[in-house]
Amino acid sequence: MTTTTRGVRIGFLAIALTTIASPAPAQQLEALWYSVRGEQSTSSFVAHAAQISIVSPQVFSMNSRGVITGQVDPRVVSAARANGVKLIPLVMNPGFDQPTIHRVLTVADARRRAVANLVALCQNNHFDGLQFDIENVNVRDKDAFTSFVRESAIALHRIGCSVSAAVVPRSSDSPGTSNYHRWMFENWRGVYDYKPLADALDFISFMTYAQHTGGSTPGPVAGYTWMEEALQYVLSLGVPPAKISLGIPSYSDWWYSSYDKKNGARMRGNDISYVTAAGLMSKFGVTPVWDEHEKSPYAFWSNNGVYEWLWLEDARSFMAKLELVRKYKLRGYSVWVLGLEDPKTWDALASVR
């Protein structure tokens, strides 16, 4: 059933407001895991909810008029309530579209509507909080983005709703020297004013993954040295460790050659699950090599004379990067994404509780 409230079209869930249980004493770190639509992600959450502090489904989108649409899978809601898991969905600019979020940030009517609809979304569904997942924002909108987040946080805190934001990391304020690095800074990394954002929010999820992407050369999904460098930078700005949830990837990346009439021949990188990655290595008869410097395994092989690359995120890599959370005394970690993880990760996490 769908209901409309002040421009918000959401799947209304008839849920009694319940008191969320505090994490068990053995739970050392706040564990936020993201989920997406689909059986693979939902099933993983239901199976492992007892090991999760916060679930953040990426299901709500905000259009250029500030109208929010989406729905949380009832199975996610039910498993979260049954296991005392806080339900903090993401609100994103659909497709990380830049013109959409620019209008929300800069047109007064759209901005007012967006804030009102964020409040209605959290209040009507009895969510524990909301997290902004607003990406691909031009650096020229930096001040407008910060003030919008601050304004939204004030309104949401007023109704007892927590507010956080997933932010793209960087290790300096330099845009870099290459066209690629300047583009990344101007459209993805540079817009986040970390300290003022952290001051306004309950916490930030510092997305220290996607170091290498489908648009880059092959490399670690999240190399340990790059993660630590970015983390040291945000801490140097005065962001309290207690307000940082460290992003850790659960997915692996596979680079291979492709061809289509529109783009021609090119290298392509895809995010894949650990199970898919293991299948590729089995198919081509390769064993991954552990990179001690980056705390990640990798493999490469010849496919009909053309080399393909795979950088994995497995249980060993996950646990190695988790040590950064303890080393810098952070509040916890944020994992993208449920359903793609190495199944052994859950056993590894259980063993260190």
Is 157 part of a structural domain of the chain? yes
pLDDT tens for 26-40 read 347 999 999 999 999
CA angle 326, 58, 135 (to 5 degrees): 80
| Beta-bridge partner residues of 352 | none
Check pLDDT > 50 for residue 333: yes
Is 60 part of a structural domain of the chain? yes
pTM listed for this prediction: 0.91
Q: What's the mean pLDDT in 52-60?
A: 98
Q: What's the mean pLDDT in 224-242?
A: 98
pLDDT of residue 353: 63
Classified as helix, coil or strand, 56 is strand
Distance CA 295, CA 314 (A): 10
φ/ψ of residue 80, rounded to 5: -65, -50
Is 351 part of a structural domain of the chain? no
pLDDT of residue 28: 72
Least confident of 12-16, 202-206, 256-260, 325-329: 12-16
pLDDT tens for 201-216 read 999 999 999 999 988 9
Q: What total of structural domains would you count in the chain? A: 1
Is 69 part of a structural domain of the chain? yes
Classified as helix, coil or strand, 254 is strand
Is 340 part of a structural domain of the chain? no
Is 327 part of a structural domain of the chain? no
Whole domain around residue 175: which residue ranges?
2-206
Phi-psi region at 286: left, alpha or beta (left = phi > 0; alpha = psi -120 to 50): beta
CA angle 281, 286, 292 (to 5 degrees): 95
H/E stretch holding 149: helix 142-158
Is 106 part of a structural domain of the chain? yes
Check pLDDT > 60 for residue 229: yes
Listed residue (124, 125, 132, 167) closest to 58, CA to CA: 132
Is 266 part of a structural domain of the chain? no
Check pLDDT > 60 for residue 7: no
CATH code, 146: 3.20.20.80
